Amino acid sequence: MISDTSIGMEPPILSARKLRYDYGNGKGIANLDLEVFSAEVLAVVGESGSGKTTLLKCLSTHLTPQSGSLSYRSGKGEPLDILQLSTAAKRELLRTDWGFVHQHPHLGLRMRVSAGANVGERLMANAWRHYGDIRSETGRWLDMVEVDPSRIDEAPSLFSGGMQQRLQIARNLVTRPRLVFMDEPTGGLDVSVQAKLLDLLRRLVFDLDLALVLVTHDLAVARMLADRMIVMREGEIIESGLTDQILDDPQHPYSQLLVASMLAA
Amino acid sequence: MSLCELATSSPVRDKQTARCHQSAMVELQDVSKAFVLHQQGKRQLSVLENFSLSVAAGECVILRGVSGAGKSTVLRLVYGNYLLDSGEIRLHMGHHPGPFRLAAAHPRQIAAFRRRYIAYVSQFLRVVPRLPTLQVVMEPALRCGIELAEAQDRAEQLLDRLGIGRTLWGLPPATFSGGEKQRVNIARGFVAQHPLLLLDEPTASLDSRNKGVVIGLMREAKRQGAALLGVFHDEEVICQIADHVVEMEPMQNDE
């Protein structure tokens, strides 16, 4: 029974029920229930092989679950049955309402076209037509993610790893998506670059009111960014709750082990 | 022993429900909390058993006892980063018709409720590395919907009062001294003027001037009708702000 009716009660933006994806060897995810809400960061943690990335790919339509349901509430408030959408409709969603930031920037960027085109392309997919507008909005976003706007015409292959990752984030967020998936966005970056990226992400989530599903193995990153957290093991969610509750008072033996093995999160 | 004349209730496991009055903002009723340490052969560590407490608007209740008595556990249960095993925690805040029942709330609701109503002030500052100090302090106010200009005004006043020089406001606190970080954290705790303040020894190791500033801030919060629940070891601070002291003792746990 929930007595406070005025806060935190809007319906979820994404809702998964009994999702199952089996790679054919018993590995994957099973029986997975999950809800994501607007204006929140949901961290998905667990060790390698726990199914985090598989879950993210199923939620973002990169993999089609063998059973279960997945419902997205569109900007107009209509529920969309994601698993029933055509391939074209899914791609349209991923270009407009949704974003996906890969761990490796080269998977999310087109490395041979300019930085500006990487960002501008998403704007064009969202019916921006005026070249000057696209260029100035792109420049504004490069500045926001701390990529020198004078490098707008350079190919991202000339950028450092941290810059490429920030460019990938700009590419995904420039169209103000409502739901963004990120797979280890700070993995592989050195500590000072990570800090820059975390600061940026936090600001953007807060300013843009977006829902962010963040896969990470770094509990310190989860504590800094996420309101809620789920802990995965062997393809199942073994614990979910407030991030600081799971980190400060983990209930499941495996969560306790995970938290205990971290350096001060 | 208390240096000042305060109503001191002990032992803790006596129910204090008799003290519950109409204006209670925080109510803990028969709360029990134990930790099961799976890594240590499922050792069970009981910290609280049938613990009850209430804090009214404008009141300051201090938890006192040796370390391990469960003082911080009480604060964390109220903040929701510890789960309670049994009993109930009710928070009466804002314009909501009924109490907010922590144990029954969805984590998302707890997060939203915290942002709006609860400040947890500890000695330790934990923020994103690169944010400038002024932003760090303003943030809780902005996140509960206070206008930018007002949030900035409040943050500047707090930093001034706590003796953080203007030259530091544009810098991230990561490079500050321990005492400066602690004061930034205190400013962050008071900026939103939340109706419930959970205070986990925020004055520990502060010099007497700054301790005085914090006592002043806590008094102002009480006057504005906030409920204060805190852990303090400093008798001088306790004398100056406590309306009620709860003595706590560690539970007996078999090794």
pLDDT at B86: 96
Q: Do B113 and A241 touch (CB under 8 A)?
A: no
% of residues, chain A, pLDDT over 70: 95
Q: Do B110 and A242 touch (CB under 8 A)?
A: yes
A40, A55, A189, A209: CA torsion to nearest 10: -20
The least confident of B19-23, B97-101, B210-214 is B19-23
Neighbouring C-beta atoms of residue B217, cutoff 10 Å: 20
Of A33, A29, A35, A32, residue with least CA distance to A14: A35
The residue of A242, A247, A262 whose CB has the most chain B CBs within 10 angstroms, and thus the best one to mutate to test that interface, is A242
- Give phi and psi for A145, each to the nearest 5: -95, 15
pLDDT at B1 over 50: no
pLDDT at B16 over 50: no
Q: Is A261 left (phi over 0), alpha (psi -120 to 50) or beta?
A: alpha
> How many Cα atoms sit within 13 Å of A163 on the Cβ side?
17
Handedness of CA B114, B142, A241, B189 (dihedral sign): negative
ipTM: 0.87
> A25 and A78 in contact (C-beta within 8 Å)?
no
Helix axes of A161-173 and A191-208: crossing angle, nearest 10 degrees: 10
How far apart, in Å, are the Cα atoms of B121 and each of A249, B154, B163, B168, B200? 19, 17, 18, 21, 6
Q: What is the pLDDT of residues A190-237, one digit of tens each?
A: 777 777 778 788 878 878 888 999 999 889 889 988 999 999 999 999
> A208 and A172 in contact (C-beta within 8 Å)?
no
Instruction: Pick A4's closest partner by Cβ from B83, B100, B143.
Output: B100
- DSSP secondary structure code for residue B5 in this structure: -
CATH class of B3-13+56-82+107-248: alpha beta
% of residues, chain B, pLDDT over 70: 89
pLDDT at A242: 97
**Smallest Cα distance from A125 to chain B, Å:** 32
Return d(Cα B176, Cα A254) in angstroms, integer.
37
pLDDT at A111: 93
A-chain residue closest to B85, CA distance: A251
B13 and A CB contact within 8 Å: no
pLDDT at B254: 67
Q: List Cβ neighbours of B135 (8 Å cut-off, separation of 6 or more).
A: none
The residue of B81, B82, B117, B138 whose CB has the most chain A CBs within 10 angstroms, and thus the best one to mutate to test that interface, is B81
Return d(Cα A67, Cα A144) in angstroms, integer.
41
Q: List Cβ neighbours of A113 (8 Å cut-off, separation of 6 or more).
A: A121, A155
- DSSP secondary structure code for residue A262 in this structure: S
Could you give the 3-state DSSP secondary structure of residue A151?
A: helix
> A223 and A138 in contact (C-beta within 8 Å)?
no
Residues A132-158, mean pLDDT to the nearest whole number: 93
Helix segments in chain B, DSSP class H: 71-79, 107-117, 133-143, 148-161, 178-190, 208-223, 235-241
Q: Do B106 and A8 touch (CB under 8 A)?
A: yes
Q: What is the pLDDT of residues B177-208, one digit of tens each?
A: 989 999 999 999 999 999 999 999 999 989 99
| Contacts A224 to B, Cβ<8 Å | 128
Return d(Cα B198, Cα B53) in angstroms, integer.
14
Local confidence band at A115 (pLDDT 50, 70, 90 cut-offs)? very high
Residues A107-128, mean pLDDT to the nearest whole number: 92
Local confidence band at B12 (pLDDT 50, 70, 90 cut-offs)? very low
Q: What is the pLDDT of residues B112-145, one digit of tens each?
A: 999 999 999 988 887 777 889 999 999 999 988 9
Handedness of CA B55, B153, B174, A265 (dihedral sign): positive
Angle (CA) A235 A245 B55, round 5°: 155
- Give phi and psi for B11, each to the nearest 5: -70, 165
pLDDT at B160: 98
Of A117, A112, A115, residue with least CA distance to A128: A117
Which has the higher per-residue pLDDT, A4 or B110? B110
Angle (CA) B146 A141 A220, round 5°: 65
Return d(Cα A198, Cα A225) in angstroms, integer.
8
Residues A167-174, mean pLDDT to the nearest whole number: 93
- Expressed in percent and rounded to 5, the helix, strand and coil fractions of chain A are 40, 25, 35
Q: Do A227 and B108 touch (CB under 8 A)?
A: yes
- Expressed in percent and rounded to 5, the helix, strand and coil fractions of chain B are 40, 25, 40
Q: Is A239 left (phi over 0), alpha (psi -120 to 50) or beta?
A: beta
How far apart, in Å, are the Cα atoms of B195 and each of B98, B113, B120, B149, B157? 16, 11, 11, 21, 19
pLDDT at B104 over 70: yes
**pTM recorded for the entire structure:** 0.90
